[in-house]
């Protein structure tokens, strides 16, 4: 059974006391600012040879006030944990834009945006260094005629994550969140990188992971069930394990129930605001009023320690979720036999 991670950390104490609130979608909020190519470029990247619009992580350097404002809105809505805007801030993903040399700058700037928002918000809150799944996968071949072909090696993925982790730690994040995991081998490379950095620096902060069940098969994109996913990452000293993205609350419900039953660490959940709906204002149909009662049911069942929102959620969703679970006790950790 996995050992509890950093039980002396204040976040661990909070999770024992009540359900903690995670923030909502960064991309959904950025869309509301209707930023143009020039906003992404700023002065620093005015002459960059490729298009940059859509590279949301870059806004930490070119529009930091926008990112800080989004963080501030989630904190005002009741978030206890906010994620840095670093979902793609490693060399393999940024290679799509030709921006591999600025990885350290991206992560430091993102951590600074989040930290400034926390310092101004007026209540205790934690900054999670967000580590996304990256744009290349170690498990799946993109060439149907060559199933053994891979675009990256484990060492390359690990090294890319290591550079990101080092910068996030230097930026002063409170925990690391390896999230939206559809390929567990990528996640294991990230966990390996984190372990390396911790050992080299003789330091440690909490680690959380969050997987993605991609459809009603109940499996990740690379074919793992919830239980198989947990077993694959359970070697790491995790603060929490959870699920996010891909599914709305209705579809995610049975998988959160399963994870709550089997995981001996804290459990997190941050579903999308339903399945994609292009006619909805956010691109997802669940409103704060329809989403929050569903999340409250999970909390009332005793399944949750951390809850927030993924794609399509806004500060209004997070505020409604926080109110809905306020009087629900946190999930109790199983007692080791």
pLDDT digits (tens, 9 = 90+) for 39-63: 999 999 999 999 999 999 999 999 9
Q: Which residue has the tokens 């090696």?
A: 153
Answer whether residue 117 shows pLDDT above 90: yes
pTM of the model: 0.95
Q: Does 87 score more than 50 pLDDT?
A: yes
Whether residue 3 is predicted with pLDDT greater than 50 in this model: the reply is no
Rounded Cα distance, 209 and 233, in Å: 8
Please name each of the domains of the chain with its CATH number: 10-325 (3.20.20.330)
337: confidence class by pLDDT, cuts 50, 70, 90: very low
Residues 6+ apart with CB under 8 A from 53: 35, 36, 37, 40
- List of residues 6+ apart from 337 with CB closer than 8 A: none
> How would residue 18 be classed by pLDDT, with cut points 50, 70 and 90?
very high
The 10 Å CB-count burial string (b at 16+, else e) for 14-23 is bbeeebbbbb
Residue 336: pLDDT band (50, 70, 90) is low
CA atoms of 15 and 17, how far apart (whole Å): 5
* Tens-place pLDDT, residues 172-216: 999 999 999 999 999 999 999 999 999 999 999 999 999 999 988
| Residue in the structure block whose two tokens are 């292009």 | 278
Mean pLDDT of 248-277: 96
How far apart (Å, rounded) are the C-alpha atoms in residues 265 and 52? 39
Would the pLDDT of 120 be above 70? Answer: yes
Looking at residue 143, what is its pLDDT?
80
pLDDT in tens, 159-181: 999 999 999 999 999 999 999 99
- The residues facing 266 across adjacent strands are 240
Predicted confidence at residue 79, as pLDDT, reads: 98
Rounded Cα–Cα distance for residues 275 and 312 (Å): 9
- Do the Cβ atoms of 32 and 283 come closer than 8 Å? no
């Amino acid at each position: 059974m996995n050992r509890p991670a950093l039980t002396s950390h204040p976040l661990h104490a909070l999770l024992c006391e009540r359900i903690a609130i995670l923030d909502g979608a960064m991309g959904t909020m950025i869309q509301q600012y209707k930023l143009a190519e020039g906003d992404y470029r700023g002065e620093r990247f005015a002459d960059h040879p490729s298009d940059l619009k859509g590279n949301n992580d870059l806004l930490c350097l070119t529009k930091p006030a926008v990112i800080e404002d989004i963080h501030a809105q989630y904190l005002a809505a009741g978030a206890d944990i906010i994620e840095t805007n670093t979902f793609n801030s490693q060399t393999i993903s940024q290679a799509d834009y030709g921006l591999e040399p600025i990885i350290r700058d991206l992560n430091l700037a993102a951590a600074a945006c989040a930290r400034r928002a926390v310092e101004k918000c007026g209540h205790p809150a934690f900054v999670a260094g967000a580590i996304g799944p990256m744009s290349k996968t170690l498990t799946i071949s993109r060439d149907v005629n060559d199933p053994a072909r891979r675009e990256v090696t484990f060492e390359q993925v690990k090294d890319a994550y290591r550079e990101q982790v080092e910068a996030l730690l230097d930026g002063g994040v409170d925990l690391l969140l390896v999230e939206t995991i559809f390929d567990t081998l990528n996640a294991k490379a990230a966990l390996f990188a984190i372990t390396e950095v911790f050992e080299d620096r003789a330091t440690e902060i909490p680690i959380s992971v969050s997987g993605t069940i991609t459809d009603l098969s109940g499996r990740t994109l690379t074919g793992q069930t919830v239980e198989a996913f947990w077993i694959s990452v359970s070697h790491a000293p995790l603060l929490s394990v959870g699920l996010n993205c891909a599914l709305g609350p209705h579809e995610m419900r049975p998988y959160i129930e399963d994870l709550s039953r089997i995981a001996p660490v804290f459990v997190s959940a941050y579903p999308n605001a339903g399945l994609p709906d292009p006619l909805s204002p956010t691109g997802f149909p669940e409103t704060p009023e329809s989403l929050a009662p569903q999340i409250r049911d999970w909390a009332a069942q005793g399944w949750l320690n951390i809850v927030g929102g993924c794609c399509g959620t806004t500060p209004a969703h997070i505020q409604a979720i926080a109110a809905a679970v306020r009087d629900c006790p946190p999930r109790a950790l199983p007692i080791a036999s």
